[in-house]
Amino acid sequence: MSDCTKILGIRIDGFSRENIEDWVRGALDGEPKQKFIATLNAEIILKGYRDKKYAAILNGADLNLCDGFGPRLASWVLGKRIKSRYTGVDLVDFALKSAKERNFNVLVVAAKNSLSRPEKIENSIKEKYGIQAQVEYFDERIFQGEAAKAAQIVFSNFGAPEQEKFLSRNREKFPNAKILAGVGGAFDFLTGKMKRAPVWMRKIGIEWLFRFIQEPKRAKRIWNAVLVFPALVVFSRK
């Protein structure tokens, strides 16, 4: 697969859902070589545009997914095409179903300010997918534990840019990991702490409005994603 485009200097892989899931299956079933996945929305691309070290981490990922309507629209403005939007929620869902099929160990390294507590995430995963994942708040001692050593799928929910920097910096401390991915608040949807926008809102690109209604404190982040990001994309084209 070679379809990709750069938006504000950040690479996004513009594959179809089928291609993405084939890629993930290949990573899980192949040699024990780690694959680093990033889920990119307008806000994350903007952070990479402003932070060159973070941009290098994102561009060094093995797979960069389009997690947002904004990047897909931006690719069209730039004369490119991202075939499908594949969110962190989609990735978590597919990876956990795959873990169930393969009897893989799953570790979620959680931020201490997460909306969802570790036990709630564990219970929600077990209830929906029938697997016993390990969910732990981050502490340096986590790397001495069996969960980090045994995990074949590792997620972080720190939010950007912390989650990508954390996973990139500590890849070797998860020796059996097949895939590592930062998925932001994806588990908050699984636990019910957050509700996803209706499908029609997602299709026309106003999911941000639904999030703003739930979390008014996201106003600055939404401003960056909805106004600053597209303005920079248009300017970069000129």
pLDDT given for residue 196 in this prediction = 85
Check: CB of residue 115 under 8 Å from CB of residue 121: no
Average pLDDT over residues 161-188: 96
Asked which of 24-33, 62-71, 163-172 is least confident by mean pLDDT, the reply is 24-33
**Per-residue pLDDT tens digits for 9-46:** 999 999 999 999 999 999 999 876 899 999 999 999 99
pLDDT(212) > 60 = yes
Residue-level pLDDT at 122: 98
Tokens of 76: 């069209």
Q: How confident is the model at residue 158 (pLDDT cuts 50, 70, 90)?
A: very high
pLDDT at 238: 63
The pLDDT of residue 225 is 84
Q: What are the DSSP E strand ranges found in 8-110?
A: 10-13, 35-40, 63-66, 106-110
Taking phi over 0 as left and psi of -120 to 50 as alpha, with beta for the rest, 68 belongs to left
- pLDDT tens for each residue of 119-156: 999 999 999 999 999 999 999 999 999 999 999 999 99
